[in-house]
Chains A and B, each alone.
Chain A
Amino acid sequence: MRRHAIYGLMAEFDRPEDLLEAAQRAHDAGYRRMDAFSPFPIEGLADAVGFRSTRVPLICLIGGLIGCLGGFYLQWWPNVIGYPLDIGGKPYNSWPNFIPITFELTILCAGLATVFGMLALNDLPTPYHPVFNAPRFALATRNRFFLCIMAQDPKFDLQKTKEFLATLKAKGVSEIES
């Protein structure tokens, strides 16, 4: 990966609708490596910046399957193989009795997988990230909306991209050091 002195250009917006429109126009203009920042989730914004699908459901499913199979095996093995006890001729593999714990462990593993999967996909924890160098970026968790076009983008050109961002309804455009 090439290192840039500049991480990208950050444009600031007043309203969520402006950010959404700007992200769509940047995508139409051919920019691919960009990200948008908002104080709350905005419908359609992830699609606009070109992030269409999330793998969280798949991770959740895998976690759930591991919990389900592992949970059942956890009870089946001691009762049938490891330490079978004949109590009044009752079957060793009395599976209906194993359902509650299997269910709980399914939920537990699926939940853990979902949360840690989400954190991993979001690269959290991130001790340092260049976007925090942008002026007024602290307002991204209050009432301002930001669009960042990254310097890694093949179409990125400091001057031209700056001019392009100026044509959107941005309140201000600034360079971000990496």
Chain B
Amino acid sequence: MSPEGAENKAAVEPGSQFLAPGHSYASVTDKISSIVLVEGTKRGWWIGFAVAFALFMTFNMAVAYLFYKGVGIWGINIPIAWGFAIVNFVWWIGIGHAGTLISAFLLLMRQAWRQSINRFAEAMTLFAVACAGMFPLLHLGRPWLFYWFFPYPDTMGTWPQFRSPLIWDVFAVSTYATISLLFWFVGLIPDLATLRDRAKKRLGQIVYSILAMGWRGSARHWRNYEMASLLLAGLATPLVVSVHTVVSFDFTIAIAPGWHSTIFPPYFVAGAIYSGFAMVLTLAIPLRYFFKLEDFVTIRHLDNMGKIMLATGLIVAYGYMMETFMAFYSGNTYDRYMIVNRMTGPYAPIYWILIACNIAIPLTLLWSRRIRRNVLALFLISLVLQTGMWLERFVIVITSLHRDFTPSAWGMYYPTIWDWATFIGSIGLFFTLFLLFIRYLPMISIFEMRELVHKVAEEKA
């Protein structure tokens, strides 16, 4: 008996693939809300936050110096005008895609295993988009004029070039950020109400009350709410595909060899999902360990994510193969040279490390059920894969640019310390936001876990 009344009868015995046995509405509620309300700030959290915040401050320093001095502090120059900034932009936005896919696409497919991972995956999306969105702005040269991107009736009488993929990008990324924020917040409303009702401290009660906006969980609320969630999922699924497609248009619309290719949109989207699921695993595995959430994020969840990574990884491998094949099949001198240069030129080691990280290692290991169910192995694979995906974008951006059509315009790109500081600093920003999120908001959707308990109990009955 808990102090707030007897437990319900709906305790789930013997559990299901996606939920450990013995849970009831009350137990899932108490377990997840107590991480925020009762357990307090742990030492491990402080250490993580200190490291992340220090990196975030590095980012701020790098950006401040960039604003003072200009983009010349980076290693970019003609012919390689797109350096780390664009690599990081594509990498971060790709990571974000898995969160939307888990919460939107798997909702439409009625997959029950999404319910315990969608919240923090959506948070991951939001923070990854926040990191991504900054890089094109920092890369502008005159970032304080970024509002020229937007169509507003200005006194100069000019308009943005609506036929340019770079402007499409502005609309795609800002729509994506807005919809991700809305989706995440809408998902949080019933849980904020739970926290409001559970909070013991005055400040918590006030803040969660304001955020919950008076949610009562009435039948009318739920009907409108569920319909809105379903519609948002239906809107977000094509959106997520469109965003990375538009990102790939940034490359394909240009006539540079290595960029001008019709395979880019599907191959970019698959790569985004590939790296995004890796990031979900990178976050989920420590979270379930440190916060004792093994009951909710089960081995079966990790196994499923491993399978999705395997499937999307194979699409990415097909993309690499087709890119190489088309370069030779086209008979175009520049295309053929681009591929040969990628494999044997000055950046060849990066290309082969990328093939090892993205294709050779994960796509051999993930076939094994034993490895997909081995938490440590999966965690390491996810880190390897993210490195590989970052290198993939490096190869696409830099090796395609550094050999221009005439040898007199050839060049090399060497990142400076400021490139590295901005990149690593953005990882700090991501983890700063993520750690604040897991400290103050429920990292697993509480009401959807209660729904899962109900469903499992009904199936058993």
Contact = CB atoms under 8 A, between A and B. Distances in A.
Interface residues of A, number: 64
B93 to A, nearest CB: 14
A124 B219 contact: no
Contact of A15 (B8, B165, B217, B447): B8
Given A104-B242, A142-B4, A46 B222 contact: yes
A125 interface: yes
A57 B231 contact: yes
Contacts of B214: 123-129
Nearest to A61: B231
Majority secondary structure, B binding face: helix
B451 interface: yes
B201 interface: no
A35 B157 contact: no
Q: On chain B, which size bracket covers the interface?
A: 35 or more
Interface in A28-73: 35-42, 45-46, 48-49, 51, 54, 56-57, 60
A39 B175 contact: no
Contacts of B168: 100-101, 104
Interface stretch (B52-60, B232-240, B255-263): B232-240
Contact of B222 (A42, A57, A79, A82): A42
A117 B167 contact: no
Tell me which of A14, A56, A136 has the highest count of chain B C-beta atoms within 10 A of its own C-beta: A56
Interface string A127-151: 1110110001011111110000000
Interface of B: 4-10, 24-26, 29-30, 151, 157-159, 162-163, 165, 167-168, 171-172, 175, 178-179, 182-183, 185-186, 189-190, 193-194, 196-198, 213-228, 231-232, 235-236, 238-239, 242, 246, 249, 447-448, 450-451, 454
Given A54-B224, A79-B159, 20 more contacts: A38-B217, A42-B454, A45-B219, A75-B162, A78-B159, A94-B163, A98-B162, A100-B168, A100-B171, A100-B249, A101-B162, A108-B175, A112-B178, A112-B182, A118-B224, A126-B213, A129-B214, A141-B193, A141-B198, A143-B26
26 contacts: A14-B6, A40-B451, A56-B224, A83-B157, A100-B246, A103-B242, A104-B239, A107-B238, A108-B179, A114-B228, A117-B228, A119-B213, A121-B224, A122-B215, A124-B215, A136-B5, A138-B198, A140-B217, A141-B194, A141-B197, A141-B198, A141-B217, A142-B4, A142-B25, A142-B26, A142-B30
